Structure 1
Amino acid sequence: MSSDSDEIPVDETCGFEIGCVPKTRKRLPIRFLQCCATPPGALVVLSISAFLQGFIVNGLINASITTLETRFELLSSEAGLIASCYDIASCVSLLFITYVGGRGHKPLWLGWGIITMGVGAVVFSLPRFIAPAYSPMLYENMCLINGTVPLNPVCSQTSLRDYRYAFYVAQLLIGAGATPLYTLGVTYLDENVTQVKSSLYHGIYYALSIVGPGIGFLLAGAFLTYFTILGENPGIPESSPQYIGAWWLPFLIFGVITFIFGFPILLFPRQLHGTEEVRKNRENEMHQDKVAKEVQTNEDFGKRLKDFPKCLLVILRNPTYIFLTLGGVIDGMLLTGLSTFGPKILEALFGLTSSFSAVLLGY
């Protein structure tokens, strides 16, 4: 081991951190992993995490919505609520996670968030295993004639719609778990790179998050070509409204992958080695508002929950932040509706299969 690595403070090495109280907290370093605790290493790990988030949330889930409607006899409003539960969880947990996590160990919040997101994806696949086995012949000429809503009163008496609560819980877990990615994750990168490299790092980070949904739609389309009960011949063509693809399989596979991927993030240090000066410069670049200047000189500000209202006031008085946020809100309003119900519109208007609709929207 080189002499440089021996001089790296324990708090700036990869390792396990034990304890939450500052006075009792202890870090167990893994020094041979220090080569990964660099700005490029952090960028790779966080970019892959952003890719997985977009892949699952905006790709797999949105591509599977129409299939879930058919399989579990859901109304469009109920299917829409499944997609909305992600945003609900994000909104509820956002302020707490960013305020508390922003002054704590960011990689720990990020790592446990990714692990929670993986658990949520696995939970999303559970109705496939706990619901009664799907048999398309039971529905022929009786149920789901239009592929979405049962026309026969007998069908509406089934309990399949009750499984939507599993999807709600799964989406709440995914939403809460993904919240640190675009708050603490971006901040962690920003704090550990110079201003010159910051834009490049953010560009790569967001590029991976944008590619994720497209790949998710394409892969979901491929999985939907297989019948939901693998290895079984349903006896009907894929173009039939009663054909249910293997919507659950990618959630199970990539949920496990995401769960495992969260653990390496837990090993990252609070700050990367040699970035102390970068952090000081970042603090000097803050918006020069009157209230912001008042709290900037207070070293204890932000360490207590009662400082939160004033901290929020500083943010709301920053016009650049406000207008960028409004731009993001409008962008999200346009894309969320299209990505959620786009496949269903393609199926209804052009008679396409769920798999082909997902592939088209992915492109």
Structure 2
Amino acid sequence: MEQLCCEERLGELGLEKRRLRGIFLGALAFSFFAKGFSGSYMKSMSSQIERRFEISSSIVGIIDGSFEIGNLMVMVLVSYLGPRVHRPKIIAVGCLIMSVGAFLSVMPQFLMGRYNYERITVSVDNSSTSVSACSPTKSEGPPATDATETLSTVINAGCEKTTNSYLWLFVLVGNLLRGIGEAPIMPLGVSYIDDFSKEENSAFYIGLVRSSGMFGPTLGFLLGSFCASLWVDLGVVDIDAISINPKDTRWVGAWWLGLLICGAVNFIASLPFWFLPYSLPKEGENGNLKISHLSVQADPCKIEPPAQPQLKFSEAVKDFFPAVRKLFGNPIFVVFIFLTILQYNSLVGIITYETKFMEQQFNVSVAKAIFLIGRYLTSFQIPVSKRKLLFVILPSVLAGAYFACITFIVAYLLNLLYFTCSCEVLQVAGLTAPYSGFKIIGYETEFCNAECSCKVDQWDPVCGENGITYMTACFAGCKSSSGAGRNMVFHNCSCVEGQGLGLGNSSAVLGQCQRESCTKAFPYFLALQTACAFILALGGTPTYMIMFRSVSPDLKSFAVGIETLGGRILGGLPAPIYFGALIDETCLKWGTKSCGGSGSCRVYDTKEFRNVYLGLIAGLRAGCCLLYIVLSVLIMKRFKADGKEMTDIKNAERSTSKEIDTANKRDILPGSRTSEESEETYM
């Protein structure tokens, strides 16, 4: 009877453990989704944050790099010591920290007041509906009379709030917290799965979790597209009164709205982990459960949980430096680290500034650019979901190295075709194009808008009938107008020479001129981008297979931490900063803050922008191609065709199984062998 009772209790306990395994897998999949969701959303909002705080691209790069700083602060410690702590609770704390970071980043929206975009001063006569942007030079001195009034002007009401210039620090600190919070999710979650799963099920579970998480980046970009199409002061300002559209470089979307959603999602992701146990027994095994028969009064079927190991810091770190020497004494691992650093640099540069590149190069709105990036991200999901198939097709390290090398070189050659998707420079009078007409007075030549009092630091562009963009209607010499808001049309523009109308009889409309060649080249750019993304994703799994089969099984966890640390501290951190600084050098016209000082860039030299952006990516990936070739040569020398490779692999697998049974001797992360791509690509 007693034996039957105990067997029944063990059966109930087994059912409970299976239920807990399912809860953990579901919770981890949702946490992967949450971190990818918030990470991709923050990337998509980089241009909106730049315009809202009127900062340069290099400062945006610093904000973006703060995520890497937070991540690397705890990544190695988590990877090395993580499996010896209560992993579910540490993951819960991480998700909670990400939630706090997202909510903290929203604070400036409620501290800065309304967004006042840069506009010119125009005047209207009460006796007519005509509005003039060209005011005589003499009229600049005396105040306006009762017959004139300001229709739209640069608002200086908030100039006394000088601290607004530094409120972007809230976003930086929030992003830093997101990096700290994300660090434990991948290594601790993967090791926890590997501890309770069978050898044949571990890869399946991890692949299932990651496949579920892949929807996060896609939905994050789609949410970014939606928020970018909404006005920043949603529900506070009358949209019909706004004279700019989402294609305008002064447009700022509701960047803060998505962060509220991201914070809520991360908070929800933290909840299940608080109720999960320290560890779970291996699938199909009850070896760790003991039945107590100590006394008659005690419960004869009492189940004793496995003892929780005590963490001794001195014992945990005593092998740290020998492990580092062993890893960096492996030439394959060293080359792999340099390859990771270069790939991180190119990848982070692409993701951070791609929306800005598409907007400036192809004249599309930020919302559309973000939406398209979210759509082509789905091409990553197909090869990642076929991870197990790739392991079957490429059973050897050497075959995997050849496959990864070939796919990367093919993607690199396709990358070079980006330069053929050219687009002419935006024709801006006085910046990239000369004025079309001059007035000849006696023996002197005078500019067509000399009679107007135009301020060179203003940007409120109009497009003339001649296809040239003017910085303001004043610079076009427009004397009158009709309509209001976005539909305003300026007439009698002395600098615009229309076909058959002559100089001074043409009109201009609000906004920059469209560039036809950009519209035609955009579909080819998207096709190349999708093809490159698909091919690079195919080669991602074999590349990680190289690392995991080239290091000792007991160092796999540590190798993941070192690889991630190296990639992020030398790639993810500096890349957005120097990409942004070089992009700033191609700016033709900087905006002006309402209280004075330089703001964000309004228009770039698109040719120089393209050469800098694509040239940096091509240069970094050229280095990757060389390292792939070196890696293939090293692997070919190490793994001979005489069967040594398979012997090494079998020995590694036996060693891994032994280490699982003797986890108290050494900390490993065997589940990492299924590979985990760099997570901020999240993306």
What TM-score, normalized by structure 2, do the two folds share? 0.41
User: Are the aligned partners of 1:73 and 1:160 in contact in 2 as well (CA < 8 Å)?
Assistant: no
Residue 246 of structure 2 is matched in structure 1 by: 238
Measured against aligned partners, the alpha-carbon deviations of 1:194-252 in whole angstroms (never above 9, x if no partner) come to 22122222222333333322221111101221111222324223333332211111111
Instruction: Work out the CA distance in 1 between the residues paired with 2:319 and 2:284.
Output: 25
Q: Is 1:60 paired with 2:68?
A: no
C-alpha deviation, 1:37, in angstroms:
1.0
Deviates more, 1:328-337 or 1:197-206: 328-337
Q: CA deviation at 1:301?
A: 9.4
Match of 1:13 in 2: none
1:140 alignment partner, one of 98, 119, 122: 119
**Equivalences, count:** 309
Choose between structure 1 and 2: higher helix proportion. Answer: 1
Query: Which has the larger share of strand?
Result: 2
Q: Which amino acid letter does the alignment assign opposite residue 265 of structure 2?
A: I
Q: Is the 8 A contact 1:128 1:248 kept in 2?
A: yes
Instruction: Report 1:204-215 matches (<5 A).
Output: 204-215=208-219
TM-score of the pair, normalised by structure 1: 0.74
Q: Secondary structure at the match of 1:102?
A: helix
- Residue 133 of structure 1 aligns with an amino acid whose one-letter code is R
CA RMSD of aligned residues (A): 3.4
Change (3 A) 1:270 1:348: same
Residue 257 of structure 1: aligned partner: 265
CA distance in 2, matches of 1:114, 1:339: 23
Alpha-carbon distance in structure 2 between the residues aligned to 1:311 and 1:36: 37
Query: Which residue identity lines up with residue 260 of structure 2 in the other structure?
Result: L
Structure 2: runs of 5+ lacking an equivalent:
1-7, 122-157, 289-310, 376-683
1:337 and 2:349 are equivalent in the alignment:
yes
Point out where structure 1 has 5 or more consecutive residues left out of the alignment.
9-30, 143-153, 281-298
Counterpart code for 2:30: I
1:270 aligns with 2:274: no
3-state SS, counterpart of residue 218 of structure 2 = helix
Contact 1:194-1:278 within 8 A present in 2 as well: no
1:41 partner letter: I
2:361 equivalent in structure 1: 349
Alignment partners' CA distance in 1, 2:367 and 2:272? 34
Instruction: Quote the offset at 1:119 in angstroms.
Output: 0.8
Instruction: Note the C-alpha offset of 1:279.
Output: 11
In structure 2, the residue matched to 1:289 is: none
| Residue 276 of structure 1: how far off its partner (Å) | 9.1
Assess if the C-alpha contact under 8 Å between 1:140 and 1:242 holds in 2: no
One-letter amino acid matched to 1:272: L
Which structure is higher in RCO with an 8 Å CA cutoff and minimum separation 6? Answer: 1
Distance 1:263 1:328, change over 3 A: farther
Q: Secondary structure at the match of 1:52?
A: helix
**Alpha-carbon deviations, 1:43-91, whole Å to 9, x = none?**
221111111111111x111110001111101111110111111111111
Give yes or no for contact 1:227–1:233 (8 Å, CA) kept in 2: no
Range 161-170 or range 266-275, more displaced: 266-275
Structure 1 match to 2:168: 164
Q: Deviations over 1:283-330 (max 9, x none)?
A: xxxxxxxxxxxxxxxx98974444433344455566776666665544
Once the two structures are superposed, the pairs formed by residues 1-363 of structure 1 within 5 Å of their partners are 3-4=9-10, 7=13, 36-38=19-21, 40-57=22-39, 59-136=40-117, 139-141=118-120, 159-231=163-235, 232-234=237-239, 235-236=241-242, 237-275=245-283, 303-313=315-325, 315-316=327-328, 328-363=340-375
- Listed one character per residue, the Cα deviations across residues 84-139 of structure 1 (whole Å, up to 9, x for unaligned) are 11111111211222223221111111110011011111111111112232133xx2
Whole-angstrom CA distance in 1 between matches of 2:105 and 2:318:
37
Residue identity in the other structure for 1:117: M
Output the amino acid matched with 1:77. S
Residues 116 and 36 (structure 1 numbering): CA distance in 2 closer, same or farther, change over 3 Å? farther
Alpha carbons 1:193, 1:275 under 8 Å: kept: yes
Q: Give the whole-Å Cα distance in 2 for the aligned partners of 1:326 and 1:195.
A: 31
Amino acid in structure 2 at the alignment position of 1:333: N
Distance in structure 2 (CA, Å) of the matches to 1:79 and 1:301: 39
